[in-house]
Amino acid sequence: MQLYFIRHAESTNNYNRRVTGSSKGRSSDPELTDTGKQQAQLLAEFLRNNYSPIPVLERDFQNSRGFNFTHLYSSLMIRSVMTATLISQALNFPLTAWVDIHECRGPYFRDNQTDEPIATEGKNRAYFTANYPELILPDYLGEKGWWNRPIEETEVWFIRAKRVLQELLEKHGNTNDRVAIVSHGGFYNCFLATVLNFPPGHCFSFILNNAAVSRIDFDNGKVRLCYLNRVDFLPKDLIT
């Protein structure tokens, strides 16, 4: 399996924190900024233009002959869905929701007085059907939103990352599948630490820019980091 971990493009929360250095006034489920929409469009065009109608070389570790995804997943957070939808449309390829690859903590805002995080409900089936009709949703998603829980505690982040890794390996591990997941920077840190077998709480930080692509190959029990945080398809003024 070739796994492509793609971070969503710039959201309004990303922009506010980048400009103000604060998370005050954050949205619980932000959309993309204009910059983010440009990033996502360039990412989608890059993936589309690097498609090869002939089999891709097995050891093409930089994807110089194309990406040719076989599966495309997205978290159900709007910034991820917006990014993944543009990829799906550019590639004319189905997009499947995967709840478990959401950002750490889940959707939340901060109390203006205490600054405490307060969980909010995720979007429901009716919302996605109306706004993203081609998104393949989980059968259980109904009138209630996909997130109906308190804030996700830190220790759960790594449990979930391990669960996602196990599910990926069970579905795609012993195949030639090329799996792309559109997810989030915080979860990327937990997921990559899990892949590398770092203990929870270990001091680490893996940088992942907006709309960046990382490739990790899983081959007969071996893990190969081909590249991390690839943004060479973006002009310098759109790298955030």
What pLDDT, in 10s, does the model give residues 144-165?
A: 999 999 999 999 999 999 999 9
Task: Return the DSSP state at 70.
Answer: S
Please, which pLDDT band fits residue 55 given cuts at 50, 70 and 90? low
Q: What are phi and psi of 165, to 5 degrees?
A: -60, -45
Alpha carbons 192 and 93: distance in angstroms, whole number: 26
Query: Over 80: is that where the pLDDT of 23 sits?
Result: no
pLDDT at residue number 73: 98
Please state, rounded to an integer, the average pLDDT across all residues of the chain. 93
- Secondary structure letter of residue 44 according to DSSP: H
The Cβ of residue 22 has, within 10 Å, a number of other Cβ atoms equal to 11
- The number of beta carbons lying within 10 Å of the beta carbon of residue 138 is 13
What average pLDDT score do residues 111-132 get?
A: 92
**Residue 111 pLDDT:** 82
Give the orientation angle of helix 34-49 with respect to helix 12-20, to 10 degrees: 120
Handedness of CA 187, 39, 124, 140 (dihedral sign): negative
CA distance 190 to 113: 30
| Confidence check: pLDDT of 204 > 90 | no
d(CA 56, CA 40): 24
